[in-house]
Structure 1
Amino acid sequence: MDQALPNTPTKGRGAVSNRAGRYERLAGERTDDGWGTLERETEEAPPLRTEILADSSRKIIAKNDSPDIPFDRSINPYKGCEHGCVYCFARPTHAYLGFSPGLDFETKLFAKHDAAELLRQELSKKGYRPATLALGANTDPYQPIERQLRITRRILEVLAEAKHPFGIITKSDLLLRDLDLLAPLAEQRLVRVCLSLTTLDRGLARALEPRASSPPKRLTAIRRLSEAGVPVAVLTAPMIPALNDHELEALLEAAAEAGAEAASYILLRLPQEIGPLFEEWLEAHAPDRKSRVLEQIRSARGGKLYDSTWGKRMRGEGPYAFVLKRRFELACKRLGLDRRSWDLNTSIFRPPRRDVDQLALF
């Protein structure tokens, strides 16, 4: 009888497999039929290409009522993310689309090509009231395909025209491309950037976040934003027990030295399909630490790999979570990284023109 074979990493990709989402009726697994097809498949397999699909959503601003995050609205220019971070909490959303939260999530991407036009329509509606809007709360607005598509850039242009306050959450230094927009907006207290920094170990970064900016590039981005007057916070996330949690203080120190003025952290979250995907990743990249990592995660999640309870899902509970929280608080106090705030200027908002395309014809 054929035996299931372990999945192997794909160069430049984060997930180790393309396991089926929870809504699929069928699932597959790799087996060796004894006829040499496995060897041929490995030798002949072409590199996984990124495929860009059109997103047909008719609204661009998503609302939420979560008490765990400091904003109630967000924009995500893309579904799926080419950065390929194996731990990404957005992976399960690909299951809703009939795709795998594994490799499909990082290779079959949905782009909202008309995002700027949809945003213009929503901001110009009668009765719209501005509040700080988060750009990239689910997937990264500055993932590699943004270099060509420039959807995020066009969104920023609409927000700048409307003088609408917003924050950016990213782990890419590509946002420096848009510093010409961000710096003037910062002078009016209309923008804040939160840059994710997971590890200073470049080898670990390549395995965890294969297509994201390297740690040195992210620190350079923090420095340049700060020098340009753009307030920037560092997000040390996720903290993974027995893998990168020992770096917490070093990450905060490096960010503070680069000019960050605030910080936050998140304990690794493994909802839905991410748990099995992360276990596969550990088996492939850190088999000697696998049992210890999972044991400590369960100790902070009530004996499970994940607890979605509001107030607990971001930080966990129990002795490990308490110590991690205390370490973070003490380091932030020592480094002056305690100015975290999403309160930006809403007083100068003005609805953008709705007829910008028509006017361009004359």
Structure 2
Amino acid sequence: MLLPTFVTLVAVIVLATLLPLLRCTGWWIRDLDFPRLQLAVLSLVVLAGQFAFLDWRDSPFYLLLLANAACLAYQAWWILPYTKAYPHEVKAAVVADSHRQFRILTANVLMPNRNTEGLIALIREHQPDIFVTLETNQWWEDRLDVLERDYPHTLKCPLENLYGMHVYSRFPLEDSAIQFLVEDDIPSMHTLVVLPSGHKVRMHFVHPTPPSPTEHMESTQRDAELLVVAKSVAEAGLETPVIVAGDLNDVAWSTTTRLFRKISGLLDPRIGRGMFNTFHAGYWFARWPLDHLFHSEHFTLSFIRRLPSFGSDHFPMLVELTYDSARGAGQEGLVADEEDHALAEEKIAAEDVTVDDVHEPQP
């Protein structure tokens, strides 16, 4: 009696597992990159149900078991690096020199959200040296400007389209630019941050649009923006300290984000430490890591935290890094092969943007 139910469930799991293997950029395909954790949990529950309720003597039992177990193993392969069972990609910081330590807070505020005091309280409590806000319009800017006494160095691009962006910094910003790389109303920010130690760090803050029926039917805009920044970072060379942060509208374990990491050579401090799911703050059962910070091997990690909600659909993220190029020199991330480079070129070519369009702050 229950066999048709299990056949249907396993068929759904198999389909949701196989479809993302396609290079199709349609939103309904690419969005299946997101719920790998949820699919793994569903697969595990169905697997337990198969043992509990199906007759082991029926031949379909073993076929369903094999298909479901294979899907579970595949989904686990993607998400395992974002658990504490996996080795750290970024070393823990050991240097206690405050001149080389700095905190970055990123927060997608959800533009209609009016709890500015909630975010300001978090900033005053955790004292980031740089904080980046996404979805901030003029209304948000007017209220966040009370922090300018402590954060005198700013980049501001208030917009009413859910893609406004602001950077507030204690440290000087040099050679800064606000760009619209792929779409005329979607900004990104590029700057050189001067640490108290005198080291200069190239930073890129991005918030590309997601593939969805309300935004874009395909992921080409998002993919091209991320990968053109990745190639720009790679061309800067190993000597340049780099950080890329923001709401990528993509999960950490997707093919596009992995490709970004391969092409850029940047490291992910979450590897071996946790998923740090930041969206959706309102639904515990449907959360994914959409807010990211990647960095070059020049840095080690003091800590990474997901901060409490302040009314947005995203949780803020707080990361403290230490500039320690000697200790960080042995750190390795993902490595791109020829196929990866070809795929990146293909995705960038889908939009009217080139690597030369990305502003590259010079020390």
TM-score normalised by L of structure 1: 0.29
**Bigger fraction of residues in strand:** 2
TM-score normalised by L of structure 2: 0.29
